[in-house]
Chains A and B, each alone.
Chain A
Amino acid sequence: MKCDEQLKGPEVAKRRFARGRDTRFLSWAFLLLAFLLVNLGCGQEKGARLTFWQFWPSEIITPIITEFEKANPGVKVEMQQLTWQNGFEKIVAAVSSGTQPDLCELGSTWVPRFAADGVLSDITSEVKDLRESYLFWDSCTLDGKIYGIPWVAGTRVLFYNKRLFERAGLDPEIPPRTWEELIDCADRIHALGKDVYGFGMNAGERYILYKKFMPFAWGSGGDILSDDLAHSVFSSKENVDALHFYCSLRDVSLMEKQDVLDMAFKQGKLGLQISGGWNLRTIPSDVPELEFGVALVPKRALDRGFHASFAGSEVLVTFVKSKHKREALKLARFLISKGNVISLCRSAKSVQPALKGAENDPYYESHPLERVFVIQLGTAVPPPPHPSWVEIEEAINTAIEEAIYEIRSPEDALAEADRKIERIVSRADG
């Protein structure tokens, strides 16, 4: 009996589906379903629905957004979390297809490119009152017009392992302040043994190299472009000296990618490295027993140069075609307000507020490690806001790679990069 039914089942189904009426019914049902789904997707609600794309994990950003919605009844924020791996592509795709968000977080080096292509809203007049109290406006500016609001900024500082300092006979409370002291410390720690390295030198990941080398160049007066961004000044004597010095660290270095260096530092095998604020979050949770300190990036000599570092800011932008610009700017102001931006930075740790005088905030007064980052930001240098930065960056990274792998001398590598950069910036289309 059971067997019979099993045989009959498919037979019956086949016959029924073969009948035209049922097929037609099925396709109509299918169409109806699709229609309903599409309509549900664009269902209208009262009040503004603000789309906001950003890079922070939900637990960090959602509390702030909830506050905003409470303070602004009628405005609903639809948030999307992007990743640094593919967020850029997603934004480009959205802009080119006209589905851009109302408010978007952008890495500062992307702003000039987007601005030059005319997709960002010019908000110069809307942010006049903010200019006094925030940092890094240059990174959001192209040809005198402002296209973004600085939100948070990240920089790199010198991390050092206190235990290794002690083992090498160094005072763990006195981090190196100058190039000479840096190489001396690294040298002594490197001599401790086979599994211990003096300094962590980034290699193999070209997108990062300039962030680690340029501090030495900037700090001794070198630069990438002239102030008007029209010419390359990359093969200057200051840059050559800095690259010579940087390469001299190689003999006492572990040459690796950033995550490997961070790992080696956590394992206590690395004496010094220049790294970012994310370590302040990961070290206490992964290796709470590690005794480490942070310090400003060393300068050329006690009486020469300054403690430069790399500064990368994240800014809030709206697009020319965004629908709710007014509400978007309102949200932006809410996000950058002192209380909110500090609370975001407290939980993220990898960034600091792009806010003047943040080091005097009670939170940073009581958190000396994070305070070093805030102070470092004061003398950190952002990359030049040129629309073709990606290509300039590649030329710089190639030069650093060639020098640290000894393919070319620092002079030749910089001269070649200088020619490439000059070609890029003198090109008509930017």
Chain B
Amino acid sequence: MQKNRSTLAFLSPWIVSFGIFWVFPLLFSLVLSFVRFNPLRPDLVHFVGLSNFSRALTDPLFWTSLRNTFVFVAGTVPVTTVIAFFLAVAINQRIPCRSLYRSGFFIPSVISIVVIAIIFKQLYAPAGLVNKLVESLGGEGRSWLGDPRTSLLSIMAMDVWASFGYYTILFLAGLQAIPSELYEAARIDGSGFWNTLRFITVPMIRPITLFVVVINTIRSFQIFIEIFVMTRGGPLNSTLTSVFYLYDRAFYRFEMGYASAVAYLLFIVIMTFSVLQMKYLRVGRAAGE
């Protein structure tokens, strides 16, 4: 009993802050999604049932934002995962200056994403480094963020660059946890590099892969800061993502209720994806065993 109480006492800062900053807003925004609420006129709040949701589902801009978000997730998550995995395998070898590579790849994860976004804005500018590179290779420079055809792609490329280092370190940790006996046995059996990778590394590292894919998907669905700093949804809504869309509705138009409904719709999408990924990747693991 006494032990329980002291445990609670020590946990209380966390429990209290979790309650105030996570549980309460979560429930509050759920309530908000069923009302019409202008934060400047809290007295005018009224219940509107599901109309916020139906409005979102019939707003073409909502669908544009969701489509852009899907493109972003589908484009970045696999690429980041594959790059991170192979980099981890590469720096897990006995190569000189291993720790240099390790910290080098991790550095982008330490830099604030706002700083990265501002730097990339300059890199993507017409007189920026990217165009210099393209031109030196004989290509034609362009306005990467100013052109609706390349704006989202440019931000996706930046996001891959900014995030693969973190996942590389996760994969690396997973690789180092694989017992070396397995590799020794494989070598004795005459297994080559690709076979070892396919039949030992990939199955053994599946829990990490699951974690990386799920976390990265959730994070990518919430893409916002890069958009806010670099394009604000433009040009021609080509980089309008779901979170930026709901931010715009909430803080420029004071439609808190509507924005909460959009947030919950996005929540449902993310939840569905996470459940599917966990199910699919877990089943795969069971079959592999």
Q: Is A263 an interface residue (CB 8 A)?
A: yes
Whether the pair A92, B127 counts as a contact (CB closer than 8 A) is no
Q: Is B3 an interface residue (CB 8 A)?
A: yes
Q: Is B253 an interface residue (CB 8 A)?
A: yes
Whether the pair A260, B39 counts as a contact (CB closer than 8 A) is no
Write out, one digit per residue, whether chain A residues 66-107 have a CB within 8 A of any chain B CB (1) or not (0).
Answer: 000000000000000000000011001101100000000000
Q: Which residues of B contact A263 (CB under 8 A)?
A: 122, 125, 127
Which B-chain residue is minimally distant from A260 (CB atoms)? B125
Which of B40, B126, B143, B151 contacts A96 (CB under 8 A)?
A: B40
Q: Which residues of A contact B199 (CB under 8 A)?
A: none
Which B-chain residue is minimally distant from A255 (CB atoms)? B146
Closest approach, in angstroms, between the C-beta of A207 and any C-beta of chain B?
Answer: 6
Which A-chain residue is minimally distant from B128 (CB atoms)? A260
Whether the pair B126, A27 counts as a contact (CB closer than 8 A) is no
Whether the pair B146, A390 counts as a contact (CB closer than 8 A) is no
Whether the pair B127, A27 counts as a contact (CB closer than 8 A) is no
Given the complex of chains A and B, what is the CA–CA distance between A263 and B128 in angstroms?
Answer: 11
Whether the pair A26, B9 counts as a contact (CB closer than 8 A) is yes
Q: Is A254 an interface residue (CB 8 A)?
A: yes
Q: Is A17 an interface residue (CB 8 A)?
A: yes
Whether the pair A92, B236 counts as a contact (CB closer than 8 A) is no
Take A20-B5, A23-B9 as given contacts and tell me if A96 and B231 are in contact as well, using a CB distance cutoff of 8 Å: no
Q: Which residues of B contact A118 (CB under 8 A)?
A: 40-41
Take A18-B3, A27-B9, A204-B145 as given contacts and tell me if A264 and B41 are in contact as well, using a CB distance cutoff of 8 Å: no
Q: Which residues of A contact B252 (CB under 8 A)?
A: 88, 390
Whether the pair B127, A264 counts as a contact (CB closer than 8 A) is yes
Closest approach, in angstroms, between the C-beta of A300 and any C-beta of chain B?
Answer: 28
Given the complex of chains A and B, what is the CA–CA distance between A343 and B151 in angstroms?
Answer: 42
- Among A44-52, A156-164, A345-353, A400-408, which stretch is in contact with chain B? A400-408
Q: Is A259 an interface residue (CB 8 A)?
A: yes
Q: Which residues of B contact A23 (CB under 8 A)?
A: 2, 5-6, 9
Whether the pair A95, B146 counts as a contact (CB closer than 8 A) is no
Give A234-262 interface residues, CB cut-off 8 Å to B.
254-257, 259-260
Whether the pair B40, A117 counts as a contact (CB closer than 8 A) is yes
Which of A17, A95, A204, A402 contacts B151 (CB under 8 A)?
A: A204
Take A96-B40, A207-B232, A391-B253 as given contacts and tell me if A257 and B146 are in contact as well, using a CB distance cutoff of 8 Å: yes
Give B91-134 interface residues, CB cut-off 8 Å to A.
121-122, 125-127
Which of B40, B148, B232 contacts A92 (CB under 8 A)?
A: B40
Whether the pair B6, A17 counts as a contact (CB closer than 8 A) is yes
> How many A residues touch B, CB cutoff 8 Å?
39
Which of B2, B40, B148, B151 contacts A18 (CB under 8 A)?
A: B2
Whether the pair A260, B233 counts as a contact (CB closer than 8 A) is no
Take A20-B2, A92-B254, A256-B143 as given contacts and tell me if A401 and B38 are in contact as well, using a CB distance cutoff of 8 Å: no
Write out, one digit per residue, whether chain A residues 253-277 have a CB within 8 A of any chain B CB (1) or not (0).
Answer: 0111101100110010100000000
Q: Is A203 an interface residue (CB 8 A)?
A: yes
> Which has the most chain A C-beta neighbours within 10 Å: B126, B253, B254?
B126
Q: Is B42 an interface residue (CB 8 A)?
A: yes
Write out, one digit per residue, whether chain B residues 35-72 have a CB within 8 A of any chain A CB (1) or not (0).
Answer: 00011111000000000000000000000000000000
Chain B contact residues: over half helix, strand or loop, or mixed?
loop
Q: Is A114 an interface residue (CB 8 A)?
A: yes
Take A114-B40, A260-B126 as given contacts and tell me if A401 and B3 are in contact as well, using a CB distance cutoff of 8 Å: no
Given the complex of chains A and B, what is the CA–CA distance between A14 and B7 in angstroms?
Answer: 12
Which B-chain residue is minimally distant from A259 (CB atoms)? B121
Q: Is A356 an interface residue (CB 8 A)?
A: no
Which B-chain residue is minimally distant from A86 (CB atoms)? B251
Take A203-B235, A204-B235, A269-B127 as given contacts and tell me if A405 and B145 are in contact as well, using a CB distance cutoff of 8 Å: no
Given the complex of chains A and B, what is the CA–CA distance between A118 and B43 in angstroms?
Answer: 11
Write out, one digit per residue, whether chain B residues 3-23 have a CB within 8 A of any chain A CB (1) or not (0).
Answer: 101100100000000000000
Given the complex of chains A and B, what is the CA–CA distance between A377 and B38 in angstroms?
Answer: 34
Q: Is A64 an interface residue (CB 8 A)?
A: no
Q: Which residues of A contact B146 (CB under 8 A)?
A: 203-204, 255-257
Given the complex of chains A and B, what is the CA–CA distance between A20 and B252 in angstroms?
Answer: 53
Q: Is A119 an interface residue (CB 8 A)?
A: yes
* Chain A residues proximal to chain B, CB less than 8 Å: 17-18, 20, 23, 26-27, 88-89, 92-93, 95-96, 113-114, 117-119, 195, 203-207, 254-257, 259-260, 263-264, 267, 269, 390-391, 401-402, 405, 407
Complex A-B: 17 CB contacts under 8 Å: A20-B5, A88-B251, A92-B39, A95-B39, A96-B42, A118-B40, A118-B41, A203-B235, A206-B233, A206-B234, A254-B126, A257-B146, A260-B121, A260-B122, A267-B127, A269-B127, A390-B253
* Chain B residues proximal to chain A, CB less than 8 Å: 2-3, 5-6, 9, 38-42, 121-122, 125-127, 143, 145-146, 148, 151, 231-236, 251-254
- Known pairs A204-B234, A206-B233, A405-B235; list 15 more (Cβ under 8 Å): A20-B2, A26-B9, A117-B40, A117-B254, A204-B143, A204-B151, A204-B231, A257-B121, A257-B145, A259-B121, A260-B121, A260-B125, A260-B126, A269-B127, A401-B236
3 A-B pairs closest in CB distance:
A96-B39, A117-B40, A204-B146
